[in-house]
Amino acid sequence: MLDVRRMQLLRDLARLGTIAAVAQARFCTPSAVSQQLSALEREAGQPLIRRSGRGVELTAAGLELADRTGPVLALLEEAEAALAGMRGELTGELRVGAFPTAVRSLLPAALVRLSGEHPRLELHLTELDPADVPDALRSGALDVALVHEYDYVPAEPDAGLATEPLLEETIFLAAAAAADADAAGAWPPGTTAVAANSRHDPVRASRDLPWIVASPGTLCHLMSVRLCQAAGFMPRIRHYADDFAAVLTLVAAGQGVALVPELALADRPGGVVLSPLPARRRTFVAYRRGAAAHPAIAACTAALRAATTDYLSRAR
């Protein structure tokens, strides 16, 4: 009988390409991964991986088994969800992950609601960048998480995960009010993107200004770079900051311009002028494929939707 956990490692290897990357995603050592894959080969009765230069690659049999692992895992998730639905009261742990702006704006109310409705459900929240969510969900470090994509950084399809749309936000160019707001195409908060677009492109008008962007490797960083590239230039980056509160404080101090999503604007300091852009950030609830019907996942998704509706009704 093939071991499902070892099959997961093989699927990870097919996706990530190296044993070291699999080990990092699974929070174990490369040696442990190699040992488990060797055991899986013995169970399969044929080679599943082979050396290729300084790395490894999957054989035809390995690729076949990796492709069949996803549906097997989804069926197991469905079975677990069905059993959980028969227990009645929700108990046990639920590990939730979210990006910083959602942790600050949406998660507190969602967790309070979830705890009130299901007091025996033990909740654990982890703040992380959406780029790290898929590995965390696959490894079981998270059960449900919020992820997002930008117009210029679309999410890549992931056969092992399922998502539900939660929120769509406007992206703003934030600049210091003391700067030449007209040259930057700035409009007061509340101006519609249609009205803003009737003027010149505020991103292109900011090509000679210093920029504040997120750390390299994050989706927010890639969005800033690609949006500037679409406007015909590379941003002159002065500061790196991942917390939008810090970003807006730097903008207010005249340290540069930055892209900021709608969720980050609740606590913006004075002296910041916002230009709505024809670009959006979309947030999704993500979980392992097959887990949608799990009562804890469904309850968490409902709490997140209620918290989002309440937040938007106050913010807009």
Answer yes or no: is 163 within a domain. no
C-alpha dihedral sign at 77, 78, 79, 85: positive
The string of pLDDT tens digits covering residues 217-229 is 898 999 999 999 9
Range list of H helices, the chain:
4-16, 19-26, 30-44, 60-86, 100-105, 107-117, 133-139, 193-197, 219-230, 244-252, 295-315
Q: What pLDDT, on a 0 to 100 scale, did the predictor assign at position 167? A: 95
Answer yes or no: is 76 within a domain. yes
Q: What pLDDT, on a 0 to 100 scale, did the predictor assign at position 155? A: 83
Q: What pLDDT, on a 0 to 100 scale, did the predictor assign at position 159? A: 84
Are 153 and 294 contained in the same domain? yes
Are 70 and 100 contained in the same domain? no
Confidence of residue 198 (pLDDT cuts 50, 70, 90): very low
- What are 189's two structure tokens? 């908060």
Confidence of residue 26 (pLDDT cuts 50, 70, 90): confident
Are 276 and 308 contained in the same domain? no
Answer yes or no: is 146 within a domain. yes
d(CA 116, CA 196): 43
Residue with the larger pLDDT of the pair 193 and 312? 312
For residue 12, the enclosing domain spans 4-83
Are 141 and 221 contained in the same domain? no
Confidence of residue 178 (pLDDT cuts 50, 70, 90): low
What CATH number does residue 58 fall under? 1.10.10.10
Q: What pLDDT, on a 0 to 100 scale, did the predictor assign at position 247? A: 96
Q: What is the count of structural domains for the chain?
A: 3
- What are 48's two structure tokens? 């599943």
What lies within 8 Å, CB to CB, of 34 at 6+ separation is 19
What CATH number does residue 208 fall under? 3.40.190.10
Are 110 and 68 contained in the same domain? no
Are 32 and 101 contained in the same domain? no
* Residues in the chain, total: 316
Are 126 and 23 contained in the same domain? no
CB crowding 195-214: b at 16 or more within 10 Å, else e: ebeeeebbbebbeebbbbbb
Are 146 and 187 contained in the same domain? no
pLDDT of 108 > 90? The answer is yes
pLDDT of 131 > 90? The answer is no
